[in-house]
C-alpha cells in the first residue's frame, strides 16, 4: 500500500522527505480544500527528490469549470510537462455532476505521467458508471472518501469501490484520515493507497492584525500515521 502526503508547506515537504513516503500531492490553501500551488513550491518538491503530484484546481468550490478555467488548467499542464512532474491530481465535472469525459480525455492526452482523479469523485451521482469511465480513459487512481465528508463515514462505500475497481484502477482513501480511524480503514477497506495531510489547526502570529488560523503540518502526527501504515498487516 502506497502512502501519499498532501503537502501545502515547506515543512510538509521536508517531513515527507524525512519519512520517505511514496509521493506527495502538492497544493496550497488546505483551509479551503486546496488549490493549485505556486511554481516555486512545485520546484521545491522536485528539488527534494519527491515523487511530485500537482493539484490542478483553479479555485475553491465545486468542480464544474468555465471554459476560461479549463484553458488555465491546460496552460498549467504545459508548464508542468516541462518540469517533468510525476503526476497530476485533477477532476472536472459537468453541470449534471457527471465526469466531463471530453475534458478528462484531453487531460489524459496532454500529460503522459500518472493521473489521479481527486475527491470530485465524491460529488458524482452514479459512481460505478463513472469509475468505469475513468478506467477507460486511462486514469491511474481515484482519491475518495467513499462519497462522504470523511473516510469514517464512507467505509462501506470504499469497500464496494475497491471491489468494483477489480485492480484496474487504484483506490486511494483520503479525507479526514487520522490516528483514530486509520487502523479500521486499513483493515476493512484495504485500499491501494492512503492519503493524509497530518495537520493541526494553529493561529499564526496572533499578535498581528493579519493573523489567520491555518492547517499546519504536524511532524509527530505524520510519523505516527506513516508508522501505523507501514506496520499494518
Q: What is the band of 117 on the pLDDT scale with cuts at 50, 70, 90?
A: very high
Q: Is the pLDDT of residue 129 over 70?
A: yes
Tell me the per-residue pLDDT of 171-185, one tens digit each, with 9 for 90 and over: 999 999 999 999 999
Q: How far is CA 191 from CA 49, 56, 143, 163, 195, in A?
A: 25, 23, 10, 10, 10
* pLDDT above 90: percentage of residues in the chain: 92
pLDDT of 205 above 90: no
Q: Residue written as cell 475518495?
A: 144
For 134-144, the pLDDT digits (tens) are 999 999 999 99
- Report in angstroms the alpha-carbon separations of 156 from 96, 123, 228: 25, 17, 21
pLDDT digits (tens, 9 = 90+) for 60-106: 999 999 999 999 999 999 999 999 999 999 999 999 999 999 999 99
pLDDT at residue 212 tops 90: no
Cα radius of gyration (the chain): 17
The per-residue pLDDT of the chain, averaged, comes to 95
- The predicted structure's pLDDT at residue 203: 78
Q: What CA–CA distance (Å, rounded) separates 171 from 190?
A: 9
229: number of CA atoms within 13 Å, CB side? Answer: 28
CB 84 within 8 A of CB 120: no
Domains of the chain: 2-231 (3.20.20.380)
So what's the pLDDT on residue 194?
98
DSSP states along 98-154: SB-HHHHHHHHHH--SEEEE-GGGGG-S-HHHHHHHHHHHT--EEEESSSSSSHHHH
pLDDT of amino acid 11: 97
pLDDT over 70 (residue 233): no
In this prediction, residue 125 has a pLDDT band, given cuts at 50, 70 and 90, of confident
Amino acid at each position: 500500500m502506497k502512502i501519499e502526503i498532501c503537502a501545502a508547506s515547506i515543512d510538509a515537504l521536508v517531513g515527507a522527505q524525512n519519512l520517505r513516503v511514496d509521493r506527495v500531492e502538492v497544493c496550497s490553501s488546505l483551509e479551503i480544500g486546496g488549490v493549485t500551488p505556486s511554481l516555486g513550491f512545485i520546484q521545491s518538491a522536485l528539488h527534494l527528490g519527491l515523487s511530485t503530484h500537482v493539484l490542478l484546481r483553479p479555485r475553491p468550490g465545486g468542480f464544474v469549470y468555465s471554459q476560461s478555467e479549463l484553458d488555465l488548467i491546460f496552460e498549467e499542464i504545459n508548464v508542468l510537462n516541462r518540469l517533468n512532474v510525476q503526476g497530476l491530481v485533477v477532476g472536472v465535472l459537468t453541470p449534471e455532476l457527471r465526469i466531463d469525459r471530453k475534458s478528462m480525455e484531453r487531460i489524459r492526452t496532454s500529460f503522459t505521467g500518472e493521473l489521479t482523479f481527486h475527491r470530485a469523485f465524491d460529488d458524482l451521482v452514479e459512481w460505478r458508471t463513472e469509475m468505469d469511465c475513468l478506467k477507460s480513459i486511462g486514469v491511474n487512481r481515484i482519491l475518495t472518501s467513499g462519497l462522504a465528508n470523511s473516510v469514517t463515514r464512507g467505509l462501506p462505500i470504499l469497500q464496494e469501490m475497491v471491489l468494483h475497481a477489480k485492480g484496474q484502477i487504484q483506490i486511494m482513501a483520503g479525507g479526514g484520515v487520522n490516528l483514530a480511524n486509520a487502523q479500521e480503514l486499513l483493515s476493512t477497506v484495504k485500499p491501494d493507497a492512503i492519503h493524509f495531510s497530518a495537520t493541526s489547526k494553529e493561529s499564526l502570529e496572533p499578535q498581528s492584525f493579519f493573523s489567520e488560523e491555518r492547517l499546519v503540518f504536524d511532524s509527530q502526527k505524520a510519523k505516527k500515521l506513516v508508522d501505523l501504515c507501514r506496520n499494518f498487516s
